A = this chain, B = another copy of it.
Amino acid sequence: MTQKSQQLAATAWARLIRAQRTALEKVEQDLKEEDFPPLVWYDVLLELERAPEGMLRHRALNDEMLLPKHNLTRLIDRMEKQGLVCRKSCNIDKRGSFVCILEKGKKLRNKMWPVYEKAIERHFAGKFSSNELNMLADLLARL
């Protein structure tokens, strides 16, 4: 590890942290301005919608989202309270439970998407050529 490569590593690292934080903040801001809930909510809804029958084990959802489990419990609590998702008990494993997306949840996700998409374009993708986006995606995939 030379002095120089060490320097390079630190710079790239700082950029990564900073770039993501900045872009994410702006995107979240755009969503908030339209009175939409935060991005994690969108992520949950998306994962559920993609899953067969619109439902996933709490655990499986947890693995997709990068959240500590207790944290997800409460996120689902809130979303359930809003009527976006619901829990179903699991017959196979009585400890566990499923989380299912409801109509209202699907509708919300659909309304959020165009805003989200535009925000991604504006604050992130728009700043790169498609070549660069590909490169970036490939590089980041290693982490």
**A-side interface residues toward B, CB under 8 Å?**
1, 5-6, 8-13, 15-25, 66, 117, 120-121, 123-125, 127-128, 130, 132-137, 139-143
Closest to A134 in B: B8
How many chain copies?
2
Given contacts A8-B125, A9-B124, A12-B128, list 17 more A-B pairs with CB under 8 A.
A5-B130, A12-B124, A12-B133, A12-B136, A16-B19, A16-B20, A16-B140, A18-B140, A19-B142, A20-B20, A22-B143, A124-B143, A127-B142, A127-B143, A132-B139, A135-B135, A136-B139
Given that A127-B142, A142-B128, A143-B23 are contacting pairs, would A136 and B66 also be in contact in the complex, using a CB cutoff of 8 Å? no
Contact B16 A136 (CB under 8 A): yes
